[in-house]
Amino acid sequence: MKKLAIFDFDGTLFNSVDDVVICFNQTLEIYNFPTLTKEEYFECLGGNIDEIVSLVLGENNSFENIEKVKKTYLELYNPSPKEHTLPFPEAHECLNKLQEKGVLLAINSNRLNYSLKYFVEKFFTDIDFVLVEGHDEDYPSKPNPFGVENILKKANVDLKDAVYIGDSKTDIETAQNAGMDCIVVKWGYGNQKDYENDYILEAVDEFDDILKYF
**Secondary structure in 3-state letters for 12-74:** CCEECHHHHHHHHHHHHHHCCCCCCCHHHHHCCCCCCHHHHHHHHHHHHCCHHHHHHHHHHHH
pLDDT in tens, 117-165: 999 999 999 999 999 999 998 999 999 999 999 999 999 999 999 999 9
Which neighbouring-strand residues pair with 165? 7, 183
Rounded to 5°, angle at Cα 126 from 120 and 132: 35
pLDDT of amino acid 137? 87
4-15+85-213: in CATH 3.40.50.1000: yes
CB 54 within 8 A of CB 43: no
**Region 83-94: what's the mean pLDDT?**
97
pLDDT digits (tens, 9 = 90+) for 20-74: 999 999 999 999 999 999 999 999 999 999 999 999 999 999 999 999 999 999 9
The contacts found for 26-35 with CB under 8 angstroms, 24 or more apart, are 26/76, 27/69, 27/72, 27/73, 27/76, 28/56, 28/69, 30/72, 31/65, 31/68, 31/69, 31/72, 33/57, 33/60, 33/65, 33/69, 34/58
pTM assigned to the model: 0.95
Q: Given this model, what pLDDT does residue 7 score?
A: 98
Q: Is 122 helix (H, G, I), strand (E, B) or coil?
A: helix
Q: What is the mean pLDDT of residues 160-174?
A: 98
**Between the CA of residue 210 and those of 73, 111, 205, what are the distances in Å?**
35, 23, 9
State the virtual CA torsion across 203, 176, 134, 25 in degrees, nearest 10.
-60
Backbone angles phi, psi at 50, to 5 degrees: -65, -40
Q: Considering Cα of 61, then 66, then 70, then 76, what sign does the dihedral take?
A: negative
Where are the CATH 3.40.50.1000 domain residues in the chain?
Answer: 4-15+85-213
